Amino acid sequence: MTTDSNETQYQPQNLTLRNAEHTALYRATNGEEGHIWNGVTCLLLTTIGRTSGEPRETPLIYARDGEDFIVIASKGGAPKAPNWFENLLVEPEVTVQVLAERFPAHAHVAEGDEYTRLWNLAADAWPNYNVYAQRTDRRIPVVVLRRTPTQ
């Protein structure tokens, strides 16, 4: 889903926390550093590498939809989806950390009306998603992370 280029202007962000550094600080401080990044909330998503079989941890902006966590596989509007997204297509059972809480979750890709509703929810939190969508020909996936019920 895209918007008219006049409607959404790219908002530059502070890139001092990202990837491995962001993940390490988030982990070490239970999210006290890294949960809020450029005015939005971030979580840590752990997927299993589709070729390596090793855990891969990625900090991602998230929005909430009730109990679910919504993440966007934008990669800044790059032509290809991010590795974490390709990993969860192969293995949708993931681990999520929000602040100090770590929990298992099941990931699914939103479609249809759910996609539109959740895209808008996420873009309200991070308007750059609309700019990223203008940069690419691919439909940027919206991923729902739903906590796995405990036994």
Q: Residue 11 contacts by C-beta under 8 Å, 6 or more apart in sequence?
A: 127, 128
pLDDT grade, residue 137 (50/70/90)?
very high
Length of the chain: 151
Q: Between these two residues, 73 and 15, which has the higher pLDDT value?
A: 73
pLDDT in tens, 39-81: 899 999 999 999 999 999 999 999 999 999 999 999 999 999 9
**pLDDT tens-digit profile of 81-118?**
999 999 999 999 999 999 999 999 999 999 999 999 99
Q: Looking at domain 19-147, does it have CATH number 3.30.450.20? A: no
The pTM of this model reads: 0.88
Which pLDDT value is given to residue 28? 94
Please give the pLDDT value at position 15.
Answer: 55
